[in-house]
Chains A and B, each alone.
Chain A
Amino acid sequence: MRQHASYWAFVVHRVSGIALAAFLPLHFWTLGNALSGSLAWTEAPLVKLGEWLIVVALAAHLGGGLRVLALEFLPWRDWQKSLAAGAAALALGVGLALALAL
């Protein structure tokens, strides 16, 4: 079924949320080890990719979350339907910023 923008914003928000929930304990554990112990294995491309994916998921989830907060706490206006686009733009921006940094 062809869906509208807000629906996809929800899907991205939920999937990124699940991904973050799944990887956060691992992220916490990795972080503790990375800074205090041997750093070498964290330079591995797979680890870097994992960390980049977490950042993108975080930015996507933040964008979606801001959309939800705007919809729920601001009085309803028609332009709020376009918030999905704003959320996506935010996520993309952050993902690019980090990609360029890496």
Chain B
Amino acid sequence: MSYRAQAALWVAQRASAAVLAVCVVVHLFTIIYAVRGGLTGAEILERTRGSVGWFAFYSLFVLAVTIHVPIGLRSVCLEWLRWRGRSRDFVLILFAAILAWTGMQAVLSIYI
């Protein structure tokens, strides 16, 4: 991978981190609010079903996660597993696909 691409990965990592910082804070507040309020699953779904806002928010969340997690793991693979090269990057892209797939499934389940 060229140094340009590696530098771009770093930029993507930090950009997605900034997005996630906001998403995580909103998500944590939402969850704590829901749990403290004793909301049931049905009550939560009432608020999210058909809500474009929540759909957009959680889709953005999943997108940011799909970018952020594999790039983060890339360093861990190199430094702690001594794993580098194409095989590592291929597996990480596969993992990104799994995150995107399972993530969007969860998002759709609260929207539809």
Direct contact of A and B (CB under 8 A): yes
**A residues adjacent to B (C-beta < 8 A):** 14, 17-18, 20-21, 24-25, 28-29, 31-36, 39, 55, 58-59, 62, 65-66, 68-69, 72-73, 94, 97-98, 101-102
In the complex, are the beta carbons of B17 and A24 less than 8 A apart?
no
> 16 A-B Cβ contacts within 8 A?
A17-B69, A24-B102, A24-B103, A28-B99, A28-B105, A28-B106, A29-B102, A29-B105, A31-B106, A31-B110, A32-B106, A35-B44, A55-B28, A62-B25, A65-B17, A102-B35
Q: Which of B28, B41, B99 contacts A39 (CB 8 A)?
A: B41
Interface contacts (Cβ under 8 Å), in number, total 77
Residue numbers in B under 8 Å from A18 (CB-CB): 73, 76
Asked if residues A25 and B73 are in contact (CB atoms below 8 Å), the reply is no
Cβ–Cβ contact A39 & B105, under 8 A = no
Interface of B is mostly: helix
Q: Which residues of B are interface residues toward A (Cβ below 8 A)? A: 14, 17-18, 20-21, 24-25, 28, 31-32, 35-36, 40-41, 44-45, 65, 69, 72-73, 76, 95, 98-99, 102-103, 105-106, 108-110
